[in-house]
């Protein structure tokens, strides 16, 4: 039996408007359940945000990482779904 995945997102930090942040978290949850690779998940989320909010998005996905990035105001979200960390931001 596969271990249970906790899909309730836990926000580490965000200056992103709530509707945009919710979009990212809703988008990621089913992909994690599908056990998609971190690289593919990052690419799909970045492409979805490029389409929805304009080009220039960057996305990091992995386990237990931290990063310091310069980003456009109100475009950063860093959250966990289960043990997978997701950071999405629009580069300056």
Q: Is the CA virtual torsion 19, 29, 45, 70 positive or negative?
A: positive
Domains of the chain: which residue ranges? Answer: 10-90
Topology adopted by domain 10-90 = Protein Inhibitor Of Neuronal Nitric Oxide Synthase (3.30.740)
Q: Print the SS3 string covering 5-48.
A: CCCCCEEEEECCCHHHHHHHHHHHHHHHHCCCCHHHHHHHHHHH
pLDDT in tens, 21-68: 999 999 999 998 898 999 999 999 999 999 999 999 999 999 978 788
Per-residue pLDDT, 5? 67
Band of the pLDDT at 16, cuts 50, 70, 90? very high
């Amino acid at each position: 039996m596969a271990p249970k995945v906790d899909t309730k997102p836990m926000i580490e930090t965000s200056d992103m408007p709530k509707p945009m942040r919710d979009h990212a978290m809703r988008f990621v949850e089913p992909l994690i359940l599908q056990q998609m690779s971190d690289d593919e998940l990052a690419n799909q989320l970045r492409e979805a945000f490029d389409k929805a909010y304009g080009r220039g998005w960057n996305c990091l996905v992995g386990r237990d990482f931290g990063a310091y990035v310069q980003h456009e105001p109100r475009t950063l979200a860093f959250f966990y779904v289960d043990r997978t960390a997701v950071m999405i931001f629009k580069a300056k």
